[in-house]
Each structure stands twice: as C-alpha cells, then as structure tokens.
Amino acid sequence: MHTFLSANNLADLTGTSIATAHKWGENGIYPYHKNEKGQEGFYMEELTDVEPVRMMLRTRWEDELHVAPLRDFTSVELFAGAGGLALGMHMAGFRHVLLNEIDAMACQTLRRNHPEWNVLEGDIHNIDFTPLRGHVDFLSGGFPCQAFSYAGKKGGLNDTRGTLFFELARAVKEIQPKVFMGENVKGLLSHDNGRTLQIIRNAIAELGYTLIEPRVLKAIMYQVPQKRERLILIAIRNDIAGHVQFKWPDPYRRVMTLRDAFFCGELFENDVPKSEGQQYPPKKARVMAMVPEGGDWRDLPEKEQKDYMGGSYYLGGGKTGMARRLAMDEPSLTLTCAPAQKQTERCHPTETRPLTVREYARIQTFPDDWLFEGNMTEQYKQIGNAVPVNLAFAIGRSLIRLFNDIDAQMPEESHWEEANKIAQGMLPPKLFEINMFAVKEEYPEKIVCNQYAKKNRVNISKLDYTKNVLICLVPDKYIVPYTNRDAKVYFTGKKFPSTVALNKLYYFMPYTKGKGIRDLYQIKVARIAPKHEFVTDADENDLRLAFEIEYIAQLHDDYKPIRLNIWRTFTDTKLRNVLDL
C-alpha cells in the first residue's frame, strides 16, 4: 500500500516552491500520480532519496511513544500561554513545578484545565526564581523575540538585556536546571543576518550551557495538521553535556490534513464538536463563496479581484493569504490570532465561514476537553499563539529520553514534592469570590466602611494617606457619572475578590479603561443590593456589592495609568501608594 503525498506537501517538507515540486513530477524526476480524488502528487515510497520523506518512512515514532520517565523530572515553564507546550511536556512525563504567564485569560485557561498546576500570573521581570535552585530538572519557554540592542562588545548575555530572552536566561541562571529549551519563530535563524542568534549562542555559553545545534521543526512532520515551523533551542549544563547525547524526535509516518483534524480517525476519536466562531459580514461572505477549495483571491473573477484587493491588486507579490480558502485534504496554513483577517484568511474548506474555536484547537492538536477562558477573540488568540501540542509531545519524549540517560549516569532522587512546596510559596494567596449571600446574611443592612464620612465631608487638606483605597474598573457604558464627578454609587461585578477587607475601605477611585485613575471619592457605606436596583432589566436575584460614594477631589492633573492587580479589575491599596508618597 502506497502513501500518497501531494505536490503541496512535498514542497513544504523540502522547503521548495509548489511549482518546483510539480516540475519534479512533470519532468519525471519522481514518478507522478493522481489519487482517487484527482490530486496530483507522489507516493512516499518512491521518494526515498528525499531526506524528510526518508525520515518519515524509516521513523521510530511508535517506539518513541513508549518512552517513559525513570523518575519524576521537574520542570518550570515560562511564557506558558494557553498551555500547548506545557500540555505536550506533561503528556511526555514532565511534572510542572511552576508555570508563568502574564495574560490573565491564558492563566485562567491553564488553571481550568489543570487546577493542580502552580500558575504564577504576572510579569516575569518581577519574579525571583532563586528559591527553586537545585530543585528543577528542566526549564522551557517560548520567549517572544524583540530586537536586541547590540550595545555590548561581547555579544553575549548583556546584549540581550531588555528583551524577554534575557528574562529566560536570568531564570536559567537563578534555577540552574540540567537542561533548558527555548522555542521561537523560524525567522530568528536569519534575523539581522544571523547576528541575533549568535548573541543568543554567546549568552547560552556565558550561562555555562552547551547548545545543541538549533533545528527548525516542521509541525507537519509530527502529527500536526498545520504548516507551522518552530525553531527549537536546547542547551545542556556543561557538567552534564559531555556525558550524554540528545537525539531529535523521529517524525510521524505521514502528513496529517484538515480531514484528519475535523473527522474521526487517526488523530481524534470523534468528529470535531460544534463551537462558536466568527462570521463573515454579508459582503465578504459573497466574495468568499466564489473561492474554490484550496484557492485564494486569484481565483475570483477579475472585477471581484480588483474590488476585494483594492490598491493591493496593482502591487507585486502573491498575497496568497488574502481570500484564502483551506483545502480539506491538505494541512492548514499556519494559524494566526484571528481566523478572518484579510491578510491571513483561514476560511473553512467546504463552508463559507472562518474556522470555529474548536476547529482552531484541533488544528493545534489540543484535545477536545481542553477548554479556553475568555471571550471568543481571546480564545482564538490563545490558540493561535500556542505551540502545537503534538509537536511539543514529540520534543518532550526526546527530552525525557535525554533525562533518563542523564539519570542513568548521575542518579538522584526526585525533587518533586519539595519543589512543588517551594513553588506554592511563590504564588500569591489564592483568590476566591465573595459569597454575596453570605455577606448579606452577616450584614443584613449594610457594611459601614467610613463612619466619619457619614456626617462630615472629607477635606482635601486632611486626607489620611494610611487609609485603604479601592480602585475599580468602571465599564464604558457606566462611565459618564464618574467622568462628570457626580457618581453616587458604584456596584461591583458578579466576581468580587475575597482579599478586599470591606470594613477597612475608606476611599474609592474609578478606573477608566485605557486611561487610568484621576478622581478620589469617599466611601460612606457598602451594602448588598440586586443589580436590578441600578439596571432595570437585570435579574432581581443577581446580588452585587454597592458602595455609596461622594466625590472629594481630583488627585492627578490628568489620568494616571496604573495596573489593576486582582483579576485586572480591582486594586485594594493605601492612598499613599496611589500618590507615590
């Protein structure tokens, strides 16, 4: 039985153009065939002198699936996102000690799917990793690649200062794992004529690690139905590097397609579940309906091409991402953070609509029970930014094999329990919502927050900078009274953090989205009230906290940007902190 490989896929595997792959067939360099669906292509078994194909034909993928850790190997992941890399490494056998991510919704996604993981939400610049030194085997992270300054003379670690690679390197320096891995876009190889990568190489050497020669892995070779390429950097601590050898993962035996992603088969045990997804506006839907499967704007009638492309029609270049419809029997193009952007269209192969959230997730090989937090736009973004799970799983198995070899040469006990305990100590106190019904039962009428304010207006010259001030996000639709400084009440959302000490609140400052804080109010009392009291069409049983407030003064000449800490919605602090006293 022959394994069919389309000309498109051969081009992707070899890094050549589709035109070149077709010429190989037309000129008889490799036997050309048509499959039962009329696709032109090749049989893999007749391409044994093509290196990527030969690797797939001789793969030990099935053997590698049986690689298992000899003990609990501990790991830390940075820039964890929605968990593509973390899940793949977990499936391979790593025990995550700590995961760091700055995006609140991505952190919620990680916590929802693995409540036992220690997810440290926040800016990596503010984290001290030294408590974990000597307790972590492996560190990984897909660091965003900003331009380096090239300010130094050595071209090493100092030249990466100010970039997120520097923060990954700092974590390595503080933790001293046996092995660490960084992943990035393929373009890092050639960025600034290779100078950026050379600085990274020098920085890794400065840290005391031996870098395995970096490799670009094509996701389509690792059971991922997507043409995505990632540069993988793996470095072994110098005291270990001379005793072991890392072997890259073997590829899967064939290229997976959207048909594999969307329907029951080798990749998934059932068809893709229904889910929400973006929709095209009527004008765009009419245009996209004319594009054939696997086609793009060039397949439209000339008048439609000009209308759709506008000025871009007269510019050079293929612009093949525009008005692009995917093909069911090909892998997806690389997913972006949104499926309906004009420059990077990802239209469903047979239906005139963008891909849904779950279709997006399947193309990234997330399991169907991996759920994403946030609104639809945030979910697309999390999925589009992720490392494909099956690619991470394949790399993870190779790393577990490496750690087994290290442990065979230098055996030691697992640090899992101790490392987990240390990591938990690095996390802020766990937050939970205040139970409004319980508060109402405890305070039947109201919670007095500022007894002095009930009788006397606070004088601006007599502000007490030691008192607590509650800063709260005010949604745009409710902002007008606060802008006019005549707001009399603020009611919270359904979720209100348990860490706010209600009976200590004294002042209130509204936070305007995109601007920050400016005006100071005094809190008179807090009480439980139904949202219906403020929004007439709301449920009468929907209880909220309501703060009765009164304007005092403008504290800043203009709005002052700040970062809301608790769920990105509230901050409970001292007035002196707001004024930087």
Residues of the chain above pLDDT 70, percent = 94
C-alpha 24/C-alpha 189 separation (Å) is: 28
Q: How would residue 150 be classed by pLDDT, with cut points 50, 70 and 90?
A: very low
Same domain, 488 and 456: yes
Same domain, 54 and 89: no
**pLDDT exceeds 80 at position 367:** yes
Find the mean pLDDT for residues 310-337. 84
What is the three-class DSSP state of 79? coil
Structure token pair of residue 266 = 């080798």
Instruction: Render 308-347 in DSSP notation, one character per residue.
Output: HHGGGGGSSS--TTTT-B--TTSPEEPP-S-TT-GGG--B
Rounded to the nearest 5°, which phi and psi values hold at 161? -60, 140
Query: Can you count the helices (H) and strands (E) in the chain?
Result: 20, 21
Residues of the chain above pLDDT 90, percent = 68
Cα dihedral 368, 373, 378, 383 sign:
negative
C-alpha 331/C-alpha 11 separation (Å) is: 12
Cα dihedral 415, 416, 419, 422 sign:
negative
8 Å CB contact between 178 and 237: yes
8 Å CB contact between 420 and 97: yes
Structure token pair of residue 72 = 């609990």
In the set 145, 347, 449, 472, the catalytic residue is 145
C-alpha 411/C-alpha 403 separation (Å) is: 10
Q: How would residue 185 be classed by pLDDT, with cut points 50, 70 and 90?
A: confident
Q: Residue 315 sits in which domain range?
A: 278-351
Same domain, 47 and 95: no
Instruction: Render 121-132 in DSSP notation, one character per residue.
Output: ES-GGG---GGG
Looking up residue 459, the CATH number of its domain turns out to be: 2.30.130
Count CB neighbours of 499 within 10 A.
15
Q: Which of 426, 451, 476 is the last residue of a domain?
A: 426
Q: Which of 22, 38, 58 is the last residue of a domain?
A: 58
377 within a domain of the structure (yes/no): no
214 within a domain of the structure (yes/no): yes
Same domain, 215 and 337: no
Name the pairing type of β-strands 489-491 and 468-474: unpaired
Cα 116 to Cα 112, 396, 417, distances in angstroms: 9, 20, 13
Same domain, 143 and 228: yes
Name the pairing type of β-strands 543-554 and 519-530: antiparallel
Instruction: Render 359-395 in DSSP notation, one character per residue.
Output: HHHHHTT--TT----S-HHHHHHHHHTSPPHHHHHHH
376 within a domain of the structure (yes/no): no
Q: How many domains are there within the chain?
A: 4
- Which range (44-53, 306-315, 328-337) has the least confidence? 306-315
Q: Which of 33, 58, 83 is the last residue of a domain?
A: 58
Find the mean pLDDT for residues 146-154. 49
Closest alpha carbon to 111 in 430, 340, 566, 449 = 430
Q: CB under 8 Å to 160, separation ≥6 — which residues?
A: 148, 166, 169, 199, 200, 203
Burial class (CB in 10 A: 0-12, 13-18, 19+), 246: middle
Looking up residue 245, the CATH number of its domain turns out to be: 3.40.50.150
C-alpha 551/C-alpha 22 separation (Å) is: 73
pLDDT score, position 51: 96
Q: Nearest 5°: CA angle at 264, between 258 and 267?
A: 65
237-251 pLDDT, tens per residue?
A: 999 999 999 999 999
333 within a domain of the structure (yes/no): yes
- Which range (75-84, 233-242, 536-545) has the least confidence? 536-545
8 Å CB contact between 509 and 578: yes
- HSE-CB of 513 using CA atoms within 13 angstroms: 10
pLDDT score, position 350: 97
The more confidently predicted of residues 64 and 314 is: 64
Rounded to the nearest 5°, which phi and psi values hold at 521? -120, 160
Count CB neighbours of 437 within 10 A.
11
Q: How would residue 159 be classed by pLDDT, with cut points 50, 70 and 90?
A: low
Same domain, 234 and 144: yes
Q: How would residue 394 be classed by pLDDT, with cut points 50, 70 and 90?
A: very high
C-alpha 508/C-alpha 489 separation (Å) is: 10
For the chain, helix, strand, coil in percent to 5 are 35, 20, 45
101-147 pLDDT, tens per residue?
A: 999 899 999 999 999 999 999 899 999 999 999 999 999 999 876 55
30-49 pLDDT, tens per residue?
A: 999 988 888 889 999 999 99
8 Å CB contact between 275 and 379: no
459-511 pLDDT, tens per residue?
A: 566 788 899 999 999 999 999 999 999 999 999 988 888 888 888 899 999 99
380 within a domain of the structure (yes/no): no
Looking up residue 45, the CATH number of its domain turns out to be: 1.10.1660.10
C-alpha 255/C-alpha 262 separation (Å) is: 15
Same domain, 397 and 248: yes
pLDDT score, position 36: 85
pLDDT score, position 239: 97
Look up 449 and say whether it is catalytic. Answer: no
375 within a domain of the structure (yes/no): no
**pLDDT exceeds 70 at position 64:** yes
Rounded to the nearest 5°, which phi and psi values hold at 550? -145, 135
Find the mean pLDDT for residues 360-371. 97
Q: How would residue 152 be classed by pLDDT, with cut points 50, 70 and 90?
A: very low
Name the pairing type of β-strands 138-141 and 215-218: unpaired
Same domain, 569 and 504: yes
**pLDDT exceeds 90 at position 320:** no
Same domain, 161 and 82: yes
**pTM > 0.85:** no
Same domain, 151 and 169: yes
Q: Which amino acid is at 450?
A: N
pLDDT score, position 459: 59
Name the pairing type of β-strands 505-512 and 226-227: unpaired
pLDDT score, position 160: 67
**pLDDT exceeds 90 at position 568:** no
Same domain, 154 and 196: yes
SS (H, E, C) 425-461: HHCCCCCCECCHHHHHHHCCCCEECCHHHHHCCCCHH
- Which range (206-220, 254-268, 302-316) has the least confidence? 302-316
373 within a domain of the structure (yes/no): no
* Mean pLDDT for the chain overall: 90
pLDDT score, position 161: 66
204 within a domain of the structure (yes/no): yes
Same domain, 396 and 247: yes
The more confidently predicted of residues 306 and 450 is: 306
411-450 pLDDT, tens per residue?
A: 999 999 999 999 999 998 777 788 888 888 888 778 877 7
pLDDT score, position 246: 98
**pLDDT exceeds 50 at position 383:** yes
C-alpha 299/C-alpha 290 separation (Å) is: 8
